[in-house]
Amino acid sequence: MSNASDTQIEFVNVSKSYDGKTQVLPNLNLSVRQGEFLTLLGPSGSGKTTCLMLLAGFESPSSGEIRVNGESIHNLPPQNRDMGMVFQNYALFPHMTVGKNLSFPLEIRKMSTGEQQRRVKRALEIVRLEGFEHRHPGKLSGGQQQRVAIARALVFEPGVVLMDEPLGALDRRLREQLQLEIRSIQRRLGVTMVYVTHDQQEAMTLSDRIAVFNQGQIQQVAEPESLYEEPMREFVARFVGDNNLLRGVVKSVSGESCQVQVGSGLIEAFMVEPLVPGDQSVLAIRPERIVFSPSMEYSNTVTSVVDDMVFQGDHWRISVTVYGQPDFVFKIPNTIGQSGILPGDSVNIGWTTIDCRALPDEHLAV
């Protein structure tokens, strides 16, 4: 949670149900800081878009309150919330020129013609589409249409910009290019952005903080690096980046570490939250933190047989079985001298205690 002095948006005990029975969002609490880029990340149906629609005013909460700058916006219609909106399908008016698409929200706000022209010109400069005022959306590429949609969201200089999967319809290369442009625009203008995506890489690239959603609940809110390096829940460890997950039983505890029995082996891990002997735990180890043929002594070392190998350009993805649990993956850089491994070969791997996170086993709740 952010400090009260820099909080711009607050969800306070917000719930949403469409049928009066099933809670799409049960008791959501979330703060957005002034000028930050917050991404709502999660799989389809996790509640992230519902959260955005509630903020935009296209849906109403079943209970709870949404505040902007300390004031409730419950009774404000969307056009009075000082928020720009960018949709995945652009939502441009095909019969209007680019200039008319951008001036439309300004006309609704009854701005003078001169002010409209000034703001349209500036918005097109921001998205690098100067000189496109008289073209129609149908004559533009997908990337150019999305830039127009972004410009329309910015043209009336809102306090908040909301984006709902805005790059989902674009090819990978263009998507990556526009990610950097959106981030650059946000930094330059200092506007608060709330962005929805299911793409974890997109979230990592864009965000100051990421809120991970699952089944209507926030699993963790953190800066991208912290979210990746320090997942607090099993779902976050599984959803954000690659992770090896090993299930076992805590055998002993010492300080911040514990030993977990996984099959026939004991693995030393860092405890994310307090555990006691007998607790079920799931261990999360990133593939890139596993060392092949370690030249020094590691707290965890395993000898196993290569089950499978996948070439992925800059690295090989090697799968082995660890203490009876298959699909344990580590990576080998595609460099000279690293290509001599074959399926069926015996390999030695190792990893540190701090890189092995002992999380509560969430499967027990199922």
Q: Strands, E, within the chain: which ranges?
A: 7-17, 23-33, 37-41, 63-68, 71-72, 83-86, 160-164, 192-197, 209-214, 217-222, 244-254, 257-262, 265-271, 280-285, 291-292, 300-311, 315-322, 325-333, 346-351, 356-360
Pairwise CA distance, residues 120 & 100, whole Å:
9
Average pLDDT over residues 14-43: 95
pLDDT at 364: 58
Q: Which residues of 78-97 are buried (b: 16+ CB within 10 A; e: fewer)?
A: eeebebbbbbbebebeeeeb
Average pLDDT over residues 38-56: 96
Digit-coded pLDDT (tens) for 294-309 = 878 899 999 999 999 9
Average pLDDT over residues 234-242: 94
Side by side, the strands of the sheet bearing 209-214 are: 83-86, 160-164, 192-197, 37-41, 209-214, 217-222
The first and second tokens of residue 57, run together, are: 């005013």
Pairwise CA distance, residues 239 & 42, whole Å:
8
Q: Which residue has the higher pLDDT, 313 or 365?
A: 313
pLDDT at 2: 44
Digit-coded pLDDT (tens) for 181-231 = 999 999 999 999 999 999 999 999 999 999 999 999 999 999 999 999 999
Mean pLDDT of all residues belonging to the chain: 92
pTM, to two decimals? 0.91
Q: What percent of the chain has pLDDT over 90?
A: 82
The first and second tokens of residue 345, run together, are: 């070969």
- Highest mean pLDDT: which range of 172-176, 338-342, 349-353: 349-353
pLDDT bucket at 20, cuts 50 / 70 / 90: confident
pLDDT at 297: 87
| Cβ atoms 356, 344 nearer than 8 A | no
